[in-house]
Amino acid sequence: MRFFLCLGSNIEDRGKNLEKARTLIKEKGIKILKKSSIYETEPVDSLPQPWFYNQVIKVSAGINPIDLLTVIKQIERRMGRKLTTPREPRIIDIDILLAEKTVVQTEKLEIPHPRMERRNFVLTPFKEISPDTTHPILRTKIKDLWIKSKDRSIVKKIKK
């Protein structure tokens, strides 16, 4: 199954954190098919904190979305993420944005990721690598969601 993931980090060496997350993803047998540039992004809906580095990657994995979530949480813990307060600064955050046309709505996981269509830190890198991918519930292409977004937070490309 093909998935789109969003990687984010806003403490320590943000670029190295994203690189390590990609390495650990590959070590779990998940193939990275495409990756966006890295963007520095203003924190949204959170306490005052350092800016993030964000990146969207397209991956292929021979597992279902729930099993992928388990793998992602293992990687986050291995990198030192501690879950104490929602939206706090974090060494790594890995979110499943889409899983092909699959819709998942459980207590543990929602796909498509809720609110992704309202967040430029997701839409901008996503649009870079797959502008014509369609949101399976909204039935709208990523590039069109980006155009319609009312999010005015700063998202600037820093590294290809």
Report the CATH number at residue 31: 3.30.70.560
The reported pLDDT for the residue numbered 88 is: 85
Residue 86: its pLDDT value, please? 73
HEC string of 74-125 equals: HHHHHCCCCCCCCCCCCCCEEEEEEECCECEECCCCEECCCCHHHCHHHHHH
pLDDT tens, position by position, 7-38: 999 999 999 999 999 999 999 999 999 999 99
Rounded to whole angstroms, how far apart are CA atoms 17 and 103? 29
pLDDT of residue 48: 83
Instruction: List, for residues 53-99, the tens digit of each pLDDT value.
Output: 999 999 999 999 999 999 999 999 999 998 767 778 899 999 999 99
Q: How confident is the model at residue 140 (pLDDT cuts 50, 70, 90)?
A: very high
State residue 85's pLDDT score. 73
The range of the structural domain enclosing residue 100 comes to 2-159
Q: Alpha-carbon distance 145 to 123, whole Å?
A: 7
CA distance 160 to 158: 7
Percent share of the chain, pLDDT over 70? 98
- What pLDDT does 45 receive? 75
Distance CA 68, CA 64 (A): 6
Around 25, how many Cα atoms within 13 Å sit in the side-chain half-sphere? 29
| Domains in the chain, number | 1
Mean pLDDT of the residues in the chain: 95
Kindly report the pTM of this predicted structure. 0.96
